[in-house]
Structure 1
């Protein structure tokens, strides 16, 4: 698609000016913005930014949730040939230092007082910041910092400028070329400073259109934009594809109202990482455990029918008359009401990505009639590399290469990708760019995997994380930590896991329980607890987790390649891993190296054979205060199984 984001906006505004482009829920009421209204807002924002001194090629930081005015500012920045840089709104101020300094940012746009405060906190260390514009004025009336102003005032000054210079905006848009830089996304920085991934209008829109063609998306789709705009996945689904297809993007009132808003909107095209689907299912199972005996019995009966019949039905396979009738009854009494309760009753296509999704979880949604599929991609590839066709959906693959994508597997098992959606490079980091982009256009994904006989891609782990067991009965065996962690996280009682074993004689893991799921499990057994730390160390909880670990071991024993990755010992952590404590990235990926250093005393205890270990850990609270959590953790052995020999 050889065009730009601002040109697409103007095209939609010209062809269907009164059609809804975005909706925003405010004070419980959905407010609609038409394409013509969005185009006018973008024009006024662009004129205002031009007056404020924004020049072509500059970077503009945008921090906040999905809001129409923040989308308009992003488009306005692009219309001037400048580059929007979305940052995570839940990050602490110190995390903004590197991106803002690296990109030499003068202009920042913030959603509300919380984001303004974080920018003002670091302003002394970022002397280039000259302008901070905010969308929500609540709490900011008495602020008098230099360069701080409301978006409302920016739009007003821009409107006056536009009236005096009616051709300025369209002239500016015409100067922007598809090959110009459209956005920069900072990676999560699991091993050091984040890298700025530079994308052009052409690269982002090429992949957005390829994904839209694959799933036959139209202007009639409804999308709920609730994930961080700084995450490239959210940006592609609710920004790039929004402009490529012209569908409606709905912005929830707040993070706490997402579930209510999801039900009200009833999206037709839905995207969520596995943790969101896990949370939805956990809430369903908790409610069902609390339901009456008749409801529970009916639910379990029809869910057995769904597991047996649903996936085949979703794949378009022929069903017997009895199965069709049974499923129809289940749809009437269980599946239909359940989809409606989850807000997924109108979903035509749903995707999950970012982490592996458990086969049971995946099958659950498909069995109740939700067309849930997996995709493979990254920030550097503009998301869309592999997608699952409707009739070829499997839990153990991430789909086939889609239009415009070439894939090959290197000798070390690394997946290489070539497409028109690849990054232009890493900003101010030629060495890192040279490491991932070859002269003939291949991108090194750093993921290990293979294409199976049917052309579907299977991911094993990160190449750098695939290690070897050294010593003991499994000396030389392959160790894939992420593969092991994902198998553990498939259980609803386990929220997070950190697997250790590379260069060691056995595999040990540190586990986070899912506080809601395990808390409900404990309450139904009249097991009292006084918070996460207390619940995590209950003997009954350890027994519950041991059963999960040993089921994973039994499964691994059937895999000739990874049987040596079975877990010998485990412990349940005294606190939840948290991005604010540096243990997770802002996209909730485990920072395994950092955790290994931070919890070195626990790692030593696991491998030295100790049965208990005291630990005290500093934590950061939401309001910025710090404190500590301490506990004496139990360490438990797990049963391992003999590897099942492959048939000759």
Structure 2
């Protein structure tokens, strides 16, 4: 699908291909959408990478990110990869001790944190991180009186990179050219439910291959909109949002806050949407409440046309083709009922809808399918990327679909363990060869 073999090389390709002509990212801030073209992204990444290099960042070094999703977080990730290093994403709700363990175990030399809350966590454990050189924050609110020498605002750090380029022209492009498919791109940490979290290594080759497998099953095109709100420490965010942007030029959209995701969706109108099962359940509940609280004429419209949608959903699940009469009735039902409902929640442009985590109840699948949203269950873990996926024409509520990608076989052991035989799995556990050998 792509000839470029690493994420930084894809950045260079996209910059040369689209420049200021296409939008790469959009962020909502104080109710206004801020737009970043591929030229903007390229320059932010370039100067951030050069600033890190000027502060001693070498190929193979690590950067930890800490905070809710924002463009700066992904610029830092891509800058680390462009400079020959890797990113590890620390979840924003981690306690200082959890931050310390992941930053220490990953050998992170830099931490890129969102705001005062996250910086305070790092300050508490800074003395326990001998490799840590710099802490860069991108939201300066409340930081005016912080004078620790290792702290820097994001913008000030970019200015360092601009100054460094004056005497090191071409260095960024050289670092990008030297990146290799087998280089570590990310280290993603497991939940640690059976012990200390393990750092799962994914190379550029792994990320691009796994993302390519999903794109082969459900293709996206340049300009399609995605929503970024699940943290990059989760493999699904890396594949469905970050790698999609890099590989085909989709646009990453950042809601104003985690609490406004569903309200911001109407303005984003995403083409691909991944929700945990609880979010689909909440959305279903919100829609039902809206219907119950509506006027009598709207309730009448729902009672008239909802059965048409459910009939079409049932035929789809049974793999039966509806006749002309039902197709005509559904066209009217969609125009009168379903499209306005979808538009209220920003779902009119959704081509691919996914759920992950706990199994979604069949009534939720059926409700959204009646409106034309074909939710598909996926199963994936950091070690294999996306393992299984429902296909559009083959959705069984009680399953998580069929294997994704060539050469992938899955079976259940006698002990109930899921066994995966894949042509390409993860690249190891950081500092834990024994665990890797046991897993593979």
Q: CA deviation at 1:293?
A: 4.3
Could you report, residue by residue, the CA deviation over 1:98-126 in whole angstroms, capped at 9, with x for unpaired residues? 21221222310001111111111222333
Q: Calculate the TM-score normalised by the size of structure 2.
A: 0.94
* Alignment match of 1:265 (pick from 265, 268, 275): 268
In structure 2, how many angstroms separate the alpha carbons of the residues matched to 1:375 and 1:224?
17
SS at match of 1:182: strand
In structure 1, how many angstroms separate the alpha carbons of the residues matched to 2:431 and 2:241?
28
Q: Which moved more, 1:224-233 or 1:107-116?
A: 224-233
Q: Looking at secondary structure, tell me which structure has more helix per residue.
A: 2
* Residues 205, 241 of structure 1: 8 Å contact kept: no
Q: CA deviation at 1:311?
A: 4.5
TM-aligned CA distance change 1:81 to 1:306, over 3 Å: same
Matches within 5 A, 1:248-263: 248-263=251-266
Tell me if 1:323 matches 2:326: yes
The match for 1:554 is none
Could you report, residue by residue, the CA deviation over 1:8-55 in whole angstroms, capped at 9, with x for unpaired residues? 010011111121111111221111111122111111011000011112
Tell me if 1:141 matches 2:144: yes
In structure 2, how many angstroms separate the alpha carbons of the residues matched to 1:313 and 1:320?
12
In structure 2, how many angstroms separate the alpha carbons of the residues matched to 1:258 and 1:116?
25
The match for 2:398 is 396
Q: CA deviation at 1:420?
A: 4.7
The match for 2:10 is 8
In structure 2, how many angstroms separate the alpha carbons of the residues matched to 1:264 and 1:311?
31
- How many residue pairs get matched? 436
In structure 1, how many angstroms separate the alpha carbons of the residues matched to 2:82 and 2:13?
14
The match for 1:525 is none
Could you report, residue by residue, the CA deviation over 1:300-333 in whole angstroms, capped at 9, with x for unpaired residues? 4432322222353588842234322332232122
In structure 2, how many angstroms separate the alpha carbons of the residues matched to 1:342 and 1:350?
14
Matches within 5 A, 1:547-586: none
Tell me if 1:218 matches 2:218: no
Could you report, residue by residue, the CA deviation over 1:264-293 in whole angstroms, capped at 9, with x for unpaired residues? 010111111111111111111223333344
The match for 2:389 is 387
TM-aligned CA distance change 1:314 to 1:243, over 3 Å: farther
The match for 1:378 is 381
Could you report, residue by residue, the CA deviation over 1:149-202 in whole angstroms, capped at 9, with x for unpaired residues? 111111001012123322101100111100111100001122221111001000
In structure 1, how many angstroms separate the alpha carbons of the residues matched to 2:165 and 2:213?
35
SS at match of 2:34: strand
TM-aligned CA distance change 1:389 to 1:315, over 3 Å: farther
Tell me if 1:233 matches 2:232: no
* Residues 317, 396 of structure 2: 8 Å contact kept: no
Matches within 5 A, 1:4-153: 4-18=6-20, 19-153=22-156
The match for 1:295 is 298
SS at match of 2:247: helix
In structure 2, how many angstroms separate the alpha carbons of the residues matched to 1:402 and 1:235?
17
In structure 2, how many angstroms separate the alpha carbons of the residues matched to 1:418 and 1:87?
29
Tell me which structure has the larger Cα radius of gyration: 1
* Residues 385, 405 of structure 1: 8 Å contact kept: no
Q: CA deviation at 1:257?
A: 2.1
Matches within 5 A, 1:484-495: none
In structure 2, how many angstroms separate the alpha carbons of the residues matched to 1:284 and 1:372?
16
* Residues 408, 423 of structure 2: 8 Å contact kept: no
In structure 2, how many angstroms separate the alpha carbons of the residues matched to 1:421 and 1:233?
17
In structure 2, how many angstroms separate the alpha carbons of the residues matched to 1:314 and 1:151?
50
In structure 1, how many angstroms separate the alpha carbons of the residues matched to 2:188 and 2:352?
26
In structure 1, how many angstroms separate the alpha carbons of the residues matched to 2:5 and 2:147?
41
Q: CA deviation at 1:430?
A: 2.0
**Structure 2 gap segments, 5+ residues each:** none
* Residues 63, 109 of structure 1: 8 Å contact kept: yes
SS at match of 1:377: strand
In structure 2, how many angstroms separate the alpha carbons of the residues matched to 1:315 and 1:12?
43
Q: CA deviation at 1:244?
A: 1.2
Tell me if 1:348 matches 2:351: yes
In structure 2, how many angstroms separate the alpha carbons of the residues matched to 1:90 and 1:298?
44
In structure 2, how many angstroms separate the alpha carbons of the residues matched to 1:112 and 1:324?
52
In structure 2, how many angstroms separate the alpha carbons of the residues matched to 1:178 and 1:22?
25
**Structure 1 gap segments, 5+ residues each:** 438-648
Could you report, residue by residue, the CA deviation over 1:445-483 in whole angstroms, capped at 9, with x for unpaired residues? xxxxxxxxxxxxxxxxxxxxxxxxxxxxxxxxxxxxxxx
Q: Which moved more, 1:393-402 or 1:307-316?
A: 307-316
SS at match of 1:178: coil
In structure 2, how many angstroms separate the alpha carbons of the residues matched to 1:29 and 1:225?
17
In structure 1, how many angstroms separate the alpha carbons of the residues matched to 2:30 and 2:417?
50
* Residues 352, 375 of structure 2: 8 Å contact kept: yes
TM-aligned CA distance change 1:409 to 1:255, over 3 Å: closer
In structure 2, how many angstroms separate the alpha carbons of the residues matched to 1:127 and 1:16?
41
SS at match of 2:408: strand
TM-aligned CA distance change 1:190 to 1:403, over 3 Å: same
Q: CA deviation at 1:86?
A: 0.6
In structure 1, how many angstroms separate the alpha carbons of the residues matched to 2:114 and 2:341?
35
In structure 1, how many angstroms separate the alpha carbons of the residues matched to 2:31 and 2:118?
23
* Residues 314, 371 of structure 1: 8 Å contact kept: no
